[in-house]
């Protein structure tokens, strides 16, 4: 069927009247073949089929719109698309079965639990630790190096005391090793100085004379109360074996002639033999003449 024939203007520009709608004449219905029905019972009354009435379309009046035939109105209905139908179906499902709401009490409890972090245990307050009688430990260093790194482990007092004992023992061992290494080095250094003095071109043939001049210089020009301190420092720092020091004292003593004018003579050869403890010529005091 041609729908263009049923287009009817519904609106007109302002100030103008809508044109009269054309008269639409419906097409006659196509002929339908008669249906053969089974014979009815004799007593059944058969009513004659009523003829289909012809559609009557009234003429529109001036200023009115022409009525739309039923067939044209049915043809103008818009069928929803697949997407629109799906949206309508989803909206209907939401309306029929509402989603259950979450219980407010459970949400509140969960939020409260998450907002509160777990509490940390308080650090243990330790009593004063015990140390060996000959050991002094700086409490600040002990706190920073040992106690603070372990404060979150809740170590008991007796276990911490064991750790402190091990810490002190390890520290003492390091100190002892360092001192021993220094002593070994210093003893080797003094032995090397003595060999250098014995082989020195200026001292090797007159080493005992040079030692006598050094002793005479100290005993002649040093204050009496300082002489013992000077010889003690020669023992501690090894300067009595150092070749440059021996040469200096020998030169000054020879210039001042302390051996001849100062009544100080070189010590005998037997007195110059070093002792086993490492002390040298300054162990013996020269005899005045």
What was the pLDDT predicted at 275? 44
The pLDDT of residue 289 is 39
Bridge partner residues of 288 (DSSP): 264
Q: What is the pTM of this model?
A: 0.41
DSSP state of 42: T
What pLDDT is recorded for position 162?
95
Least confident of 69-83, 126-140, 170-184: 69-83
What rounded mean pLDDT belongs to the chain? 73
Give the residue-averaged pLDDT of 175-183.
93
Residue 82: pLDDT band (50, 70, 90) is: confident
Statement: residue 27 has pLDDT above 60: no
Confidence check: pLDDT of 190 > 90:
yes
Residue 52: pLDDT band (50, 70, 90) is low
CB count in 10 Å sphere of residue 220 = 16
User: What confidence score (pLDDT) does residue 135 get?
Assistant: 87
Residue 122, pLDDT score? 80
For the chain, the domains span: 135-199, 205-283
Q: Which residue is associated with the tokens 């308080």?
A: 122
Contact 232, 244 (CB under 8 A): no
Distance CA(249)–CA(170), nearest Å, equals 45
pLDDT of residue 199: 93
Q: Output the pLDDT for position 121.
A: 75
pLDDT, tens digit (0-9, with 9 covering 90-100), for 239-260? 999 999 999 999 999 999 887 5
Give me the residue label for tokens 């006659």.
28
* Distances, alpha carbon 112 to alpha carbons 23, 101, 207, in Å: 78, 20, 93
* Confidence check: pLDDT of 191 > 90: yes
């Amino acid at each position: 069927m041609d729908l263009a024939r049923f287009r009817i203007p519904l609106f007109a520009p302002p100030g103008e009247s809508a044109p009269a709608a054309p008269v639409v004449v419906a097409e006659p219905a196509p002929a339908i073949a008669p249906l053969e029905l089974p014979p009815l019972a004799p007593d059944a009354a058969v009513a004659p089929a009523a003829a289909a009435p012809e559609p009557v379309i009234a003429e529109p009046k001036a200023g009115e719109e022409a009525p739309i035939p039923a067939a044209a109105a049915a043809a103008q209905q818009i069928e929803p698309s697949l997407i629109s139908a799906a949206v309508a179906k989803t909206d209907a499902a939401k309306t029929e079965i509402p989603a259950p709401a979450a219980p407010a009490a459970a949400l509140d409890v969960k939020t409260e639990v998450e907002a509160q972090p777990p509490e940390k245990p308080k650090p243990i307050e330790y009593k004063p630790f015990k140390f060996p009688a000959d050991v002094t430990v700086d409490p600040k260093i002990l706190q920073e190096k040992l106690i603070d790194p372990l404060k979150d482990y809740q170590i008991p007092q007796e276990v911490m005391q064991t750790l402190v004992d091990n810490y002190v023992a390890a520290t003492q061992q390091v100190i002892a090793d360092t001192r021993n290494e220094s002593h070994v080095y210093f003893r080797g250094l003094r032995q090397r100085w003595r060999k250098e003095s014995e082989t020195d071109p200026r001292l090797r043939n007159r080493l005992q004379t040079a030692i006598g001049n050094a002793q005479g210089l100290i005993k002649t020009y040093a204050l009496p109360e300082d002489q013992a301190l000077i010889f003690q420092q020669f023992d501690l720092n090894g300067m009595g074996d150092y070749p440059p020091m021996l040469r200096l004292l020998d030169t000054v003593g020879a210039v001042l002639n302390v051996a001849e004018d100062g009544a100080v003579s070189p010590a005998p050869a037997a007195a110059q033999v070093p002792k086993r403890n490492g002390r040298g010529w300054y162990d013996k005091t020269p005899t005045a003449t």
